[in-house]
Amino acid sequence: MNGLASITLEQWDRRYEELRAAGLREPEYGGPLRRHVEDGDRRLLRLRFDPSPAALRLWNFLLTEEDRLRKARRDGKKLVGVMKDLGTTALMTHCVPELVAFYPDGAWWIPCVMEMRAGLFSIADSLGINDSFCPVRAMLGAFVTGAHFPIPDMLVCSAGATCDDFSAIAQRLEGLGHAILWWEIPHRRKPESGEGRVELPGGFVAPAEQVAVVRAELDRVREGLQSLAGSRLDDARLAAGIRKANQARGLLADLRRQAFTAARCPMPALEMLVAEMLAIHFCSDFDESLRVLSDLHEEVSARVLSGKGTLPADAVRVYWVNPVADLQVMNLLESCGGRVCGTEYLFSHALDPIPEDLGPMEALARMALADPMVGPASDRAERICRDAVGFGAEAVLVSRIPGASHCALEGEAIAEGVRRLGLPVAEIEVPSLSDACRPRLVTRLGGLIETALRRRGS
């Protein structure tokens, strides 16, 4: 028997008791998943989960971040909300022992996880940020209620060649009295002839001048963090943080390699999505995120070795583009006969190793400039196509984020690139709660799977 079925929350209740009886050891944030439903995370009732203790730890780690932040504040640490930048300023902040970083942007999943009961979109609406914006507008509501994370001591946000929606939302937030340390990132371009060129992680190149601009901007962030903490963020601390981040990225890279290339899918797409997110925010605890990833990596390695998987061996290999506002859609792909065999969740640069043979600020500047969102859509499409081929994808799914300004431009560029590879591609748009549009999502996902299966057979 090589099957390991994903389970519902109800099944997790029983599974948890069995694991406890068998001597399950958990970290202090451990416990049954059910308690999060009692705290309002009702979407968990509709999801299917991996049944391993490693997955339990992952979910518990994710869903207890607010507790950790409140404890950090009680312990005298300062909280820094790092916004829009994916993977750079969070890392810098975690290098300062007196500071804890978190992503207020993560509030974009609250409407899904709490099934709209928190009313965050209504608050954003009342502030003029309506549904023509990306669901990350929920963050605005979370700042107003203060009910989902403590109001940070400092806010840092990137501007420039980033998401237009987010910039508008963050500006509105600043208008509400939350001061923001803005840092600018230019639109990445290829160097012109005669310009100095710099290799970036991920295979991109940029003019040396752009890297210098980003480095100067990150220096301003460094000064801001030092001022808040009252201690120095020197190169030695940054270098140590980069080494630790690379450890997490290395674990994640191998986790992805194994999960995406194994003959049988060893870990469901939903848990893989949560794991990948750890690479950018560390869930407010850098060291613990490493332990969580290690556990998951160990579980996946063991399953691959024994040939165990959570899906049929012939599930269609789908490369997934963009994160989904409704987590349930990751389950949906699998119930339609697919498996995720590669992802680009808008932060592929945060999965690449940060150069350790450079000065740390230079290395961080290069990484920040490699962000797929700050370059042309064609760069992103190119990387997606390269990865899709590398992971042996049979189809590509582009998941649009409702209201997100970048999606309108990128989708077709990505789809065109994929078609040139001869792979079928479909686009879906996933709102925070997709229940009402499930039939059409099933049709698109099903159509993609059927098309890929037919190609396999022909």
Partner 1 sequence: MIVAGIDAGSRTIKIVLWDGFRGAMVGAGIADQGVEQDALAGALLDRLLGETGRARSDLGRVVATGYGRNIMSMADSTVTEITCHAVGVGHVLPGARTVIDIGGQDSKLIRLDGDGGVRDFAMNDRCAAGSGRFLEVIAARLGVELSALGALARRSERPAAISSMCVVFAETEIIGLLASRTPPADLAAGVQASMANRVVAMAGRHLDPPIVFTGGVALVPGMSDALATALGHPLQVAPDPRMTGALGAALIAAGHRDPVPARVAPASPW
**Binding interface with partner 1 (CB under 8 A):** 312, 332, 335-337, 412, 419, 424-427, 429, 438-440, 442-444, 446-447, 449-451, 453-455, 457-458
Question: Nearer to partner 1 by C-beta: 298 or 450?
Answer: 450
Q: Please tell me the number of Cα atoms within 13 Å of 165 on its side-chain side.
A: 24
Closest distance to partner 1 from the beta carbon of 10 (Å): 14
Shortest CA distance to 428 belongs to which of 457, 390, 399?
399
Question: Nearer to partner 1 by C-beta: 149 or 320?
Answer: 320
Residue 30, classified by CB atoms within 10 Å of its CB into exposed (0-12), middle (13-18) or buried (19+), is middle
Strand pairing category for 338-344 and 197-199: unpaired
Element (H, E) at 399: strand 395-400
Closest distance to partner 1 from the beta carbon of 135 (Å): 16
Closest distance to partner 1 from the beta carbon of 443 (Å): 5
Question: Nearer to partner 1 by C-beta: 212 or 453?
Answer: 453
Question: Nearer to partner 1 by C-beta: 119 or 312?
Answer: 312
Cβ atoms 245, 253 nearer than 8 A: no
Closest distance to partner 1 from the beta carbon of 362 (Å): 42
Return d(Cα 21, Cα 342) in angstroms, integer. Answer: 36
DSSP 231: S
Question: Nearer to partner 1 by C-beta: 283 or 324?
Answer: 324
Q: How far is CA 116 from CA 133, 135, 439, 441, in A?
A: 16, 11, 21, 20
Question: Nearer to partner 1 by C-beta: 191 or 312?
Answer: 312
Q: How wide is the angle at C-alpha 320 spanned by C-alphas 317 and 326, nearest 5°?
A: 120
Closest distance to partner 1 from the beta carbon of 328 (Å): 9
Closest distance to partner 1 from the beta carbon of 402 (Å): 10
